[in-house]
Amino acid sequence: MFLKLEGRRCLVVGAGEVAESKIAGLLDAAARVRVVAPEATPQIESWAKSGQIEWLARSCEPSDLDGMFLVVAATSSHELHENIHGEAHRRGVLCNVVDVPELCDFYYPAVAKRGALQIALSTSGQSPALAQRLRKELEEQFGPEYEAWLQQLGEEREKLFAANMHPEERKRLLHDLASADSFKSFLRKRKPKRAKK
């Protein structure tokens, strides 16, 4: 599942290195981020000073979850994690307790990105290391050229939807554009031509 988090209120409890990576992902998604932790990494402090996040330098309180769309708990306290999970469920807030699959409503996938192309991998918390390895393999398999090709596909799709044609014909053309042969043709056109001797 890919969630649109733009403008949504998200809480991160904890402000260490693990929490920092989760906050970075939320910022990339344009979420409104509140962080609650007595201390924070220099990067998290910097985000707070620049106004990118709200940081409350104190311990978490149940009311911190009020009005939140989701919460990520990344502390060293199992008791606090269980309390956050319980409070999140009472409020209908999605919860992710880092590295505790049984206290998660969602998992952070490993994501291979090529522009708008995103391939997400999850092991349902069983082996994040395997997900990371597979992400690296996918990044090798789907190189940077996919970003430009996908952009071209998007432009062609817009043209087809603007044209007056039967939906089945449009569907056929869209599948032809996204075919392996179409990709090979795209690559051939991008290769620089050798100068004649």
- The CATH homologous superfamily of the domain defined by 109-142: Sirohaem synthase, central domain (3.30.160.110)
Residue 37: the pLDDT is: 98
Nearest to 87 by CA among 11, 196, 189, 175: 11
Higher pLDDT, 108 or 16: 16
Mean pLDDT of the region 6-29 = 96
Dist CA 96 CA 98 (whole Å): 6
pTM: 0.74
Q: Are strands 70-73 and 9-13 parallel, antiparallel or unpaired?
A: parallel
Digit-coded pLDDT (tens) for 95-143: 999 989 899 998 888 888 898 898 989 888 788 889 899 999 999 999 9
Check for a shared fold between 9-108 and 109-142.
no
Domain 9-108 class, CATH top level: alpha beta
Dist CA 111 CA 96 (whole Å): 17
Digit-coded pLDDT (tens) for 86-98: 999 999 999 999 9
Digit-coded pLDDT (tens) for 65-81: 999 999 999 999 999 99
Give residue limits of the domains in the chain: 9-108, 109-142, 145-190
Residue 109: the pLDDT is: 82
